[in-house]
Amino acid sequence: MGLMTAMQYKDSLKDGRVVYYEGEKVDDVTSHRALKICVDTAAIDYEMAEMPQFRDLAVVKHPKTGEPISRYYYTPTGAEDLLKRHELMVTATKLGNGIIPFSHDIGADAMNAVNITANTMGNKEYIARAEKYRATLQKEDLSVACAMSDVKGDRVLRPSSSKQEHPDYYVHIVDRNDKGIVVRGAKAHITAAAYCAEILVVPCRNMEESDKDYAVAFAIPANTKGVIQVCHPVESHRSSLDFPIDLPVRNHTDSLIIFDDVFVPWERVFLAGEWQFALPLVYNFAYLHRHTAASYRIPSVEGMLGAAVAMADYNGISNVPHVREEITDLVIYCNTLKSLAKASCIDFVTHGGIPIPNPILTNMAKYHFATNFHNCLKLIQDVAGGLLVTAPTYKDFQNPDIGEFIKKYLGGRAGASAEARLRMFQLLRRMMQVTNEVVAVHAEGSLQAQRQMIYFESLKEMNEYKKMVEISSGIRKIEPV
């Protein structure tokens, strides 16, 4: 079939999938009052492939057939490919007004992780299945969501522990036959799954032999029997209290995905009891996913810096020393993230025959973004001032009885209108939603998970540095060449 158009993507979602929103079953995600906003956001990936100015970024030629395929499903060969993919994600997020489409990117991370893990295992059957699945995605241009986070139950206990209230807190195999496996359980926080064609399931933690039934990875169509999705509510329109903006609303919902005895054919199973490889699969996905996260955060961080500069200007305090210091901190925050994300592509490593962004730099980029996010919000809040939370609404501004007073008294420096300040306050309030604060910390893994990866990935070089100083201090002799 080749590349899908945006319209074909939307039509493909009318497939009888079981999705609930605010307690009601959704007949069609593409026309639902809220979910259609999410579908339109996801469709940006497909729109970019149709737009001449972005086609070379979004589309590449298949290395064997020469047919056009999504860059996300192309196997990278080195730094140039990784940088192009990075640029694609940054550009797509900017087109989404700070929201990445999520129809290809995270699923592609999971697909690459599956390929890498199969190659590392040396399991010819899994390698063949993974390559066949990649070929399917390339040929049909399917949207894919990655389902990683299990609901977990008691987080201290292992998946198979008899002390868990029930055995289904982690997705696991409950039956096998010559045709495939049957799985049961639930995954949480799965972005865009309600409007992706495929769901690619991977483990979320290390496993022991007793957990082998939980060491499972597979891909299924989103409309597979027994798959039930429960979406959380999202902002799908602007309030009448907000100043109007000539940009579409962009957003995503996340699903609780219930797997109620779901059958998966063997050809779509990529791990089934090989518990030793659950953690490597988790790691391989985490490396890739965190680089994606660092990439799509960049437009948001640029927006934070731009808003702080604008507010300092409107408030007439751009040259106040401590404000310049706060702006400088934001400049450092923004450019460190951008530099780490790019550097991880340039200084890539190869896992399982596939080049991936440098794991240490990737985790540093994500950790840098997440651990400094709240402090940067504090700096912006200080620059903006108290009107950030007490400002009148657009309806007040429009009211002829009070509007002129608002225009008179809420202006800033000469030439900075009350409307400009009120619009910027409105933008900042959206940036500072609690959802964004929580996502900064928990999405793509915890801060501690990133620190652990940075440490363990650095062990080899730390030992080399230790050896270097032992030679410098005379503790160790120089080894003969």
- The tens digit of pLDDT for each residue in 248-283 reads 999 999 999 999 999 999 999 999 999 999 999 999
Condensed to tens digits (0 to 9), the pLDDT of residues 79-122 reads: 999 999 999 999 999 999 999 999 999 999 999 999 999 999 99
Q: In the chain, where does the domain assigned CATH 1.20.140.10 lie? A: 280-465
Lowest-confidence range among 6-20, 134-148, 232-246, 304-318?
232-246
Is pLDDT of 438 > 80? no
Distance between CA 272 and CA 254 in Å, rounded?
26
Average pLDDT over residues 213-227: 98
Mean pLDDT of the chain: 94
Condensed to tens digits (0 to 9), the pLDDT of residues 335-363 reads: 999 999 999 999 999 999 999 999 999 99
What residues contact 178, with CB distance under 8 A and at least 6 apart? none
Q: How confident is the model at residue 434 (pLDDT cuts 50, 70, 90)?
A: low
Average pLDDT over residues 35-42: 97
Q: How confident is the model at residue 238 (pLDDT cuts 50, 70, 90)?
A: confident
CATH number of 6-274: 2.40.110.10
Distance between CA 233 and CA 462 in Å, rounded?
46
Q: What is the pLDDT of residue 1?
A: 58
Q: What is the pLDDT of residue 443?
A: 73
Q: How confident is the model at residue 450 (pLDDT cuts 50, 70, 90)?
A: confident
Average pLDDT over residues 45-50: 96
The model carries a pTM of 0.91
Q: What percent of the chain has pLDDT over 90?
A: 87
Q: In the chain, where does the domain assigned CATH 2.40.110.10 lie? A: 6-274
Is pLDDT of 445 > 90? no
Q: Which residue has the higher pLDDT, 435 or 47?
A: 47
CATH number of 280-465: 1.20.140.10
Is pLDDT of 235 > 90? no
